[in-house]
Amino acid sequence: MNDEQERNGILRKIRACLSRADANRNDSEEERAIALRQANALMDKYGIQAVDLGETDELGERGKHGIDTGRNLWKAVVIQYIGKLYGCKVYRSPSEGRTWIIGREHFRHVVVDMAGYVISSIEREASHQARGRGRSFGNSFRRGAASAIGEQVKEILASRARGETAQVSSSKAMILVDMYKNELALNDEWLRAQGVRLYSGGRRRISSGDGYHAGQQYGRGIGLQDQLGRGPSARVKRIGNG
C-alpha cells in the first residue's frame, strides 16, 4: 500500500466516524460520542486538516455555541483557553451571561466537553478546599486554577509550534498548527460578517492570596495533554447548550 492509498484510507475512516457522529443519522448519543472521539483522535494522530475532508458538512458548519457562565469570569477564561487548542474563537457576553464558542461544529463539541471536564474538576475541588475558609478563598482558588490552565495551554501551543508533541511527528504537528491558525482566521471572518464585536472581559481583584496559589497548584495538575485527541465524551458533564 502506497502513501496515497494509506492517506485515503484514513480519510475514509474519519468521514465514517463523523457520519456516525451525526445526530441526523444516529439516534444513539453514546455511539455518537464514541465516533467523535475516534474522529478527533485520528485527525490529531495523522495531522488531517479540515480541508482534506472535503465538504464542510464533514466537520459541521461554522457557527456558535453558547454556554451559560453567568458572572463567573473564570469559567469564560477556561473556555477561552481551551478554545485556542482547537482553533475556536471564544467571547463573553456579560449582558447575556453567556460565553460563545465560534468554530466548526466538531471542534465546538470538543471544546465544550473538554472545558466542561476542566470546569467541573475545578468547581469540585474549590468547594472542597473552601470549607471552613470562606467564599473569598473559593473564588480566588477558581481564578488561580483558571490562570494555571492558561499556562498549560500556552505551553502546549508553544510545543506544537516547535513540533514537540508526543502525539504526532514534527511535520504533522506543524500541519496541525497551520490548520488551527487557518480556523482562527476563518472564525474571525465569520465574526466580522455577523457584526460581532468581542468583549475582552476584565480583571478582578484577588481577595485571597492563599486561595489563588492553591488554585494555581491544582490547575497545573489537571492533565490537559491527557485530554487532547479524545474528543467529546458522554461521561463528561456538559456546561451549557446553544
Q: How far apart are CA 140 and CA 134, in angstroms?
A: 10
Mean pLDDT of 223-236: 54
Q: Per the structure block, which three cell numbers stand in for 142?
A: 477558581
Helix 73-85 × helix 105-129 angle, to 10°: 140
Question: Does the pLDDT at position 95 exceed 60?
Answer: yes
Question: Does the pLDDT at position 202 exceed 80?
Answer: no
Question: Does the pLDDT at position 55 exceed 50?
Answer: no
Cβ-contact 36, 22 below 8 angstroms: no
Pairing mode of beta strands 98-104, 62-68: antiparallel
Placement of cell 473564570 in the chain: 74
Record the pTM: 0.68
Q: How far apart are CA 43 and CA 229, in angstroms?
A: 8
Q: Residue 86: its pLDDT value, please?
A: 85
Q: Which amino acid is at 50?
A: A
User: CA angle 115-121-127, nearest 5°?
Assistant: 130
Q: Which amino acid is at 165?
A: T
Residues contacting 183, CB < 8 A, separation 6+? 50, 86, 87, 88, 103, 104, 107
Q: Residue 82: its pLDDT value, please?
A: 92
Question: Does the pLDDT at position 220 exceed 70?
Answer: yes
Q: How far apart are CA 213 and CA 140, in angstroms?
A: 8
